[in-house]
Amino acid sequence: MATKELPAYLQSIFYPLFNHAKDLECKLMLIDQMLEVGDRKELPFLAELETHENPKISNKAFEIKSKLQDKLGLISESERRRLPMNLCFIYDEFNIRPSKVDPDLEFGVTLDIMTME
């Protein structure tokens, strides 16, 4: 018999507390507490809350998720997609020059990199 695992956001201890909270202030206070006592299990729940219909909750969830990632020493998804700084200088490092401009693709905009020799 196959076991079914709960979705990641349901693993958070704050999930049932958040669902039973009646007013907005209590929900915002719970989100704040995720930073104080939360761990990795809160990150999927905070990501789920970022899509909440109330902008105060979604903004607070985004803020706390970023701070919790910093506290835990994790790299965010947007940081993971960034290129390392040393790749910014790859043209100079390997003496690579961009290809010549195709006249069919000329849009009237000159780029400094295209005039380098």
The answer, yes or no, to whether residue 1 has pLDDT greater than 60, is no
The residue whose two tokens read 């958070």 is 12
pLDDT tens digit string along 18-59?
999 989 999 999 999 999 998 888 999 999 999 999 999 999
pLDDT tens digit string along 71-94?
888 876 666 666 566 666 666 677
Residues whose CB is less than 8 angstroms from the CB of residue 91 and which lie 6 or more positions away in sequence, other chains included: 97, 98, 113
The residue that leads in pLDDT, 64 or 109, is 64
The answer, yes or no, to whether residue 117 has pLDDT greater than 60, is no
Which of 53, 62, 66 has the alpha carbon at shortest distance from 24? 53
Cα atoms in the Cβ-side hemisphere of radius 13 Å centred on 82: 9
Q: Do residues 14 and 46 lie in contact, with contact meaning Cβ atoms separated by under 8 Å?
A: no
What whole-number distance in Å separates Cα of residue 4 and Cα of residue 6?
7
